[in-house]
Structures are given as structure tokens and as C-alpha cells.
Structure 1
Amino acid sequence: MLFFLMIDIHTLLYDHIRNLQYKCFYLLIHGFFYSHILCKLRSLMCSYYNLYR
């Protein structure tokens, strides 16, 4: 009984940790992606600004 309980707790913890890792990974990728897009947009805006100044 105790053995099964230990296994259950372990799997729950493992799932939780894996979920956290996945969320961190997801946030990291999205942050990178959005910052990349924002950089592109900012450089485009700067070039347009310099063009029409």
C-alpha cells in the first residue's frame, strides 16, 4: 500500500515538473519569437522614419 502511494506521489511530482519545464520552454520560445518580431518592426519603423524625414 505504501509502495503504491510512493509511486503515485512520484508520478504526480514528475508530471508537475515536466509540466513546469514545458511551460518554461513555451514561454522562452514565445518571448524570443515576440522580441525578434518587435526588433524587426522597430528597425522597419526606424528606416521608414529616416526615409520620410
Structure 2
Amino acid sequence: MEDWKQKVKDNAVDVGYLSDWYIHSVANDEWEESQVKELSNDFYCIPKEVIDGKGV
């Protein structure tokens, strides 16, 4: 059961990745750096390509 938790942690992106990917891709700078940091503190964010190969 604990194996899946380690896989999530190993594949989760950090706030730097989220900043580069999200802040620079939205129109009108909808999100601020503080919002991205809050998101990364509350959730593990894993790119779809890690799970199902999308975008590879």
C-alpha cells in the first residue's frame, strides 16, 4: 500500500515546474506565484505523461 505513495512523491512536480508551466502558459497572468506555491503545498501534482504517456 505504501508503494503508491512513494511513486506519487517521486513523480510529483515542484513549485518551480508549476511556475514555469502554468504561470507562463495562461493569458493575462491569472495566477500569481503565491497561488502556485499554495497549490504545491496542498497537492501532489503529477504530469499526465508520467501516468498515461500523454504528451510524450
Shorter chain as denominator, the TM-score bin is: under 0.3
Higher RCO, 1 vs 2 (CA within 8 Å, ≥6 residues apart): 2
Q: Which has the larger radius of gyration?
A: 1
TM-score (norm 1): 0.27
In terms of fraction of residues, the more helix-rich structure is 1
